[in-house]
Amino acid sequence: MKQYGVNELRRMFLEFFESKGHLAMKSFSLVPHNDNSLLLINSGMAPLKPYFTGAEIPPRRRVTTCQKCIRTGDIENVGKTARHGTFFEMLGNFSFGDYFKDEAIHWTWEFLTEVVGLDKDRLYPSVYVEDDEAFNIWNKEIGIPAERIFRFGKEDNFWEHGAGPCGPCSEVYYDRGEKYGCGKPGCTVGCDCDRYMEIWNNVFTQFDNDGHNNYTELKQKNIDTGMGLERLASVVQDVDSIFDVDTVRALRDKVCELAHTEYKKDEQKDVSIRLITDHIRSATFMISDGIMPTNEGRGYVLRRLIRRAARHGRLLGIEGKFLAKLSETVIEGSKDGYPELDEKREFIFKVLDQEEEKFNKTIDQGLSILADMEAEMEAKGEKVLSGENTFKLYDTYGFPVDLTKEILEEKGLSVDEKGFQAAMEEQRVKAREARAVTNYMGADATVYDQIDPKVTSAFVGYDSLTAESEITVLTTDSELTEALTDGQSGTIFVKETPFYATMGGQQGDTGVIRSENGEFEVQDTIKLRGGKIGHVGRVTKGMFKVSDQVTLEVAAKKHADTCKNHSATHLLQKALKTVLGSHVEQKGSLVTPDRLRFDFSHFEAMTPEEIEKVEAQVNQEIQAALPVVTDVMDIEEAKKTGAMALFGEKYEEKVRVVSMGDFSKELCGGTHVANTSQIMVFKIVSEAGIAAGVRRIEALTGDGVFAYYKNVEEQLQEAAKTAKTTPVNLTEKIEHLLAEIKELHSENEALKSKAAKDALGDVMDQVRDINGVKVLAAKLEGVDMNGLRDLGDQLKEKLGEGVVVLASAVDGKVSLMATATDGAQKKGAHAGNLIKAIAGLVGGGGGGRPGMAQAGGKNADGIDAAIAKAAEVAAEQMK
């Protein structure tokens, strides 16, 4: 068998599947695109998920890739054995609802035996225990004897992640021969030793699991395969492990060369050699995808890999920085499949150098402080480093906590993790409280202060909405960075930009920045000290690094709308001066794509006529199609032309004077339409006072006006619909309705007073004479307290002098009132006491003055008794 190299095998695989109608796609970035469930791409299938779920349409239904992958779940064991690693390449062929088991199995066999030339007698397929279909293909079609096909259960040969698509697998094992075996009886496919190595796995995505293990056949069945490239190479090259295959061995040898040592001479050193070999591969690939060493997320994974490698370099006695040198060997070995490594070589070296240097500075100090802490622990007989000390090392000396743990573990000591986390959280809370106002979209106010003051940006957007330029500075939300990658938010600075930065009331531009490798959505553009223009936004695809050549493109429609609104403010200012008088001065303005706002000095509200006049004048100047011309001149010269300037504003030596025909001339750095006719139309939507002597106008132009009228029209339609008429007849309809309401209202009043009189009925018959005073105590039907008081007054009038007691119930709620005239009071009548004496009978309480009192109650059944008692009490009072 020919001992193909890693690069040869990769090419052979991709070409083989291309010959079977597959589209060979470039490896996807290690940074997952639009997928928050993953930190790093960890399988060939991961970046293809949208094609499997149907969220995106694949470029072809047959695809093949060799995908760079990183898995850090076993990072603690990397180096300790030759089996573990964080970086690997995965070969795969995929079918999105196209071919299925039959083709997949045949091609597996064809590639392994005919293309690579593996010995058929050493290959053993396995299938899922219930998958007779796959078994029969291997047995009857390929011709493998039944006893050489292994049937495994769910845990080995069924791919499933909770609910959703799932299916059986079929693996292929290779017998590497007795020299790799454990020699135990029963050593066969499935044994833990290194003899039978799984090299290929086909997943037949065939079922849908409803979440309760009820399986239904999928309409669109998929094929998802995976084969570790380094593992295949170790079989083909008949070497011990992935650390011995050609490209990886070259790197391993380079590590040995730098450390002046040899592999397999000293077990302790081998651990470090393998660890460095693995980690520098991961780090090189991660940096090439724009990941930067930081303290969180994938950036932290990278920092940890680099720092672990650097430290093990020290353990091997390597002096000075060495990671970039190793990275060069990684690039040489892998650039065949990953040309981006070669393109970014200088950048990769720079990032590795910087991080290694940072680490070297902290490590000596950290190690010596950790040594002191260890001595202290030993003196006290402690085995666990306190959380406080661990945090101190991390926070004050920048010593990574994983490193502290590793160093202590080597000596049988450990770290108080909980204590460390608690100290960390405390710090986080403090930092949050202490953080001054974050200035922009969460960015620390200080991040822009770290930029070299020599960096400046030129605005070239007066004449063009696109430009080519070079990235000078990149920042994340909190720090300067060499690169930004997919999904990260940050700020891009370039030498020349067509993006207008928020200034003079005009809102900054939005748009997109593109490079060969990435796309950045500009959400805002900001002006910073020292003439710097920052493009704030988010990487939506790929990556960006400092010095990249980029194309900047302003969102044209929004920009055009902003220009219309800005030019309109100039016309508005002049129109206001004309209509209201020369005392009008600009006090502020805001210009966005959607609207404009203009604040000005004026001492009273504008009348509707004034507003109409101003609006009409602006529209007249729009229709006059005045050319908008900008002249750059000295400030003194500009003032002589009579151009309007902002009082108290500091201007540069050279200023821009924007003229609109002979109508308006203003000092202005903003962007404008070329001719006033482009504004189309102008509409004031509000005018109001915002401070003493300052008014604010809000207005719209162009499409904004049409949108405004469309909205008004819709509201009118809605109102007409509600009133069951048409917009034209709406006013008439409302007048009718109002008249009808008025009529109904007076009718209602008349009915109410009639009802009260009816309730009064013949109560006057019940008037009694007690000691020469007329007393009326009566029960009425359905009258509330207000009604009772009205009636009481009427009755008192009819009686002349006397006492009136009325009771009534509405919905079970009882109202009682009593009133006594002055004459009656002189004879001893007291309304308050009277009420007090009878309220209990209706289950309530109350009281009042001698002339007037009232009470409420809940017991309507007691009204008759209360009325009867009222007469008795009145008689008693006037005895």
Buried b (16+ CB within 10 A) or exposed e, 519-538: bbbbebbbbbeeebbbbbbb
The beta strand positions in 186-261, using DSSP E, are 196-209, 215-228
| Binding pattern for the stretch 125-164 against Zn ion, x by CB under 5 A and - elsewhere | ----------------------------------------
Q: Which two tokens stand for residue 538?
A: 């988010």
Which residue's CB is nearer to Zn ion, number 46 or number 187?
Answer: 187
Nearest to 565 by CA among 504, 514, 612, 613: 504
Q: Which two tokens stand for residue 739?
A: 């008249």
Rounded to a whole number of angstroms, the minimum distance from the CB of residue 732 to Zn ion is 46
Helical ranges in 641-701 per DSSP H: none
Site for Zn ion in 386-445 (CB under 5 A): none
Rounded to a whole number of angstroms, the minimum distance from the CB of residue 187 to Zn ion is 3
- Please, is 601 exposed, middle or buried when counting C-beta atoms within 10 Å of its C-beta (0-12, 13-18, 19+)? middle
Give the interface segment with Zn ion, choosing from 24-32, 206-214, 664-672, 807-815 (CB under 5 A).
664-672
Rounded to a whole number of angstroms, the minimum distance from the CB of residue 506 to Zn ion is 7
Give the interface segment with Zn ion, choosing from 154-162, 638-646, 666-674, 707-715 (CB under 5 A).
666-674
Q: How far apart are CA 284 and CA 326, in angstroms?
A: 9
Q: How far apart are CA 310 and CA 367, in angstroms?
A: 14
Q: H or E stretch including 429?
A: helix 417-434
Which residue's CB is nearer to Zn ion, number 490 or number 670?
Answer: 670
Q: How far apart are CA 760 and CA 457, in angstroms?
A: 90
Rounded to a whole number of angstroms, the minimum distance from the CB of residue 244 to Zn ion is 20
Which residue's CB is nearer to Zn ion, number 377 or number 679?
Answer: 679
Rounded to a whole number of angstroms, the minimum distance from the CB of residue 186 to Zn ion is 8
Q: Which two tokens stand for residue 638?
A: 């500009």
Q: Rounded to whole angstroms, what are the CA distances from 203 to 41, 55, 223, 485, 748?
A: 18, 20, 6, 31, 81
Nearest to 157 by CA among 201, 122, 187: 201
Residues 6+ apart with CB under 8 A from 355: 293, 303, 306, 307
Rounded to a whole number of angstroms, the minimum distance from the CB of residue 500 to Zn ion is 12
Which residue's CB is nearer to Zn ion, number 182 or number 690?
Answer: 182
Which residue's CB is nearer to Zn ion, number 146 or number 193?
Answer: 193
Contact, 281 vs 274, CB < 8 A?
Answer: no
Rounded to a whole number of angstroms, the minimum distance from the CB of residue 184 to Zn ion is 6
Backbone angles phi, psi at 403, to 5 degrees: -70, -45
Rounded to a whole number of angstroms, the minimum distance from the CB of residue 705 to Zn ion is 20
Which residue's CB is nearer to Zn ion, number 58 or number 670?
Answer: 670
Query: Which residues is 551 bridged to in the sheet?
Result: 468, 514
Which residue's CB is nearer to Zn ion, number 238 or number 758?
Answer: 238
Question: In the set 330, 513, 568, 668, which binds Zn ion (CB under 5 A)?
Answer: 668
Residues 6+ apart with CB under 8 A from 736: none
Q: Rounded to whole angstroms, what are the CA distances from 289 to 26, 70, 122, 479?
A: 13, 12, 39, 19
Residues that bind Zn ion (rule: CB under 5 A) add up to a total of 7
Is 750 a residue that touches Zn ion (CB under 5 A)? no
Which residue's CB is nearer to Zn ion, number 191 or number 503?
Answer: 191
Site for Zn ion in 544-573 (CB under 5 A): none
Q: How far apart are CA 17 and CA 536, in angstroms?
A: 43
Query: Which residues is 699 bridged to in the sheet?
Result: 596, 684
Give the interface segment with Zn ion, choosing from 113-121, 178-186, 272-280, 418-426 (CB under 5 A).
178-186
Question: In the set 58, 79, 542, 670, which binds Zn ion (CB under 5 A)?
Answer: 670
Which residue's CB is nearer to Zn ion, number 191 or number 810?
Answer: 191
Which residue's CB is nearer to Zn ion, number 478 or number 675?
Answer: 675
Question: In the set 57, 182, 458, 868, which binds Zn ion (CB under 5 A)?
Answer: 182
Which residue's CB is nearer to Zn ion, number 504 or number 843?
Answer: 504
Give the interface segment with Zn ion, choosing from 176-184, 544-552, 717-725, 870-878 (CB under 5 A).
176-184
Specify the residue for token string 């020290």: 314
Which residue's CB is nearer to Zn ion, number 231 or number 656?
Answer: 656
Nearest to 703 by CA among 676, 678, 733, 721: 678
For the chain, how big is the Rg over CA atoms in Å?
A: 44
Rounded to a whole number of angstroms, the minimum distance from the CB of residue 480 to Zn ion is 34
Q: How far apart are CA 311 and CA 292, in angstroms?
A: 19
Specify the residue for token string 């189309």: 680
Rounded to a whole number of angstroms, the minimum distance from the CB of residue 511 to Zn ion is 21
Which residue's CB is nearer to Zn ion, number 57 or number 182?
Answer: 182
Give the interface segment with Zn ion, choosing from 123-131, 434-442, 670-678, 850-858 (CB under 5 A).
670-678
Rounded to a whole number of angstroms, the minimum distance from the CB of residue 600 to Zn ion is 14
Rounded to a whole number of angstroms, the minimum distance from the CB of residue 574 to Zn ion is 12
Site for Zn ion in 186-245 (CB under 5 A): 187, 191, 193
Specify the residue for token string 């990684």: 330
Which residue's CB is nearer to Zn ion, number 506 or number 510?
Answer: 506
Rounded to a whole number of angstroms, the minimum distance from the CB of residue 196 to Zn ion is 7
Specify the residue for token string 């003899």: 195
Rounded to a whole number of angstroms, the minimum distance from the CB of residue 591 to Zn ion is 8
What residues line the site for Zn ion (CB under 5 A)? 181-182, 187, 191, 193, 668, 670
